[in-house]
Amino acid sequence: MTSELAALPHRRLLATPGYARLWFAGSVGNSMRWLELLVAGVYTFELTHSAFQVALVTVARSLPMLFVGPLAGVLGEALNRKRLLLKQLTVLATTSSILAVLALIGYLRVWHIALGGAVAGTVWACEMAVRRRMLSEVVPVDRVGAAIAFDSLTNSASRVMGPLCGGALFETIGPGGIYLLSVALYAVSIIAVAGLEFRQDVRRLRFGYIPRQIAEGIAVARATPAVMVVVLVTIIMNSFGFCYSALLPAIGLGYYHVSPVLVGMLVAAEPVGAIIVGTAMSAGWIRLDGTRSLLRGSFLLLGGVIAMALSPWYAAAFALLVIGGLGSAAFGNMQTSLVLIEAPPASRSRVLGIVTMCIGTGPLGVLAVGALSERLGASSAILIMAGIGVLGLLLVWRNTRRYLVV
CB-based contacts of 367, cutoff 8 Å, min separation 6: 55, 56, 59
Nearest-5° Cα angle at 351, 345 to 356: 140
pLDDT tens for each residue of 17-47: 788 899 889 888 888 887 887 788 878 887 8
Percentage of the chain modeled with pLDDT above 70: 88
* Contacts of 149-152 spanning 24+ positions with Cβ under 8 A: 149/1, 149/5, 149/278, 149/281, 149/282, 149/333, 149/337, 150/10, 150/13, 150/23, 150/282, 151/23, 151/26, 152/278, 152/329, 152/332, 152/333, 152/336
- Res 7: pLDDT: 43
Write down the CATH number for the domain with range 4-197+206-400.
Answer: 1.20.1250.20
d(CA 174, CA 164): 14
216 three-class SS: helix
- Res 5: pLDDT: 37
pLDDT tens for each residue of 266-292: 877 888 888 887 777 665 566 666 778
391 three-class SS: helix
Which helix (DSSP H) or strand (DSSP E) does residue 270 occupy? helix 260-283
Local structure of residue 285 (DSSP, 8 states): S
Which stretches of the chain score pLDDT less than 70? 1-12, 14-15, 51, 162-164, 201-205, 207-208, 281-289, 401-406
Local structure of residue 79 (DSSP, 8 states): S
- Res 89: pLDDT: 93
- Of 219, 233, 198, the closest CA to residue 401 belongs to 233
- Cβ neighbours around 265 below 10 Å, total: 20
d(CA 247, CA 268): 13
For residue 101, what are the CA distances in angstroms to 53, 96, 105, 256? Answer: 23, 9, 6, 33
For residue 310, what are the CA distances in angstroms to 28, 254, 270, 313? Answer: 34, 15, 16, 9
- Res 403: pLDDT: 57
Instruction: Delimit the domains of the chain by residue range.
Output: 4-197+206-400
d(CA 66, CA 259): 33
- Res 404: pLDDT: 56
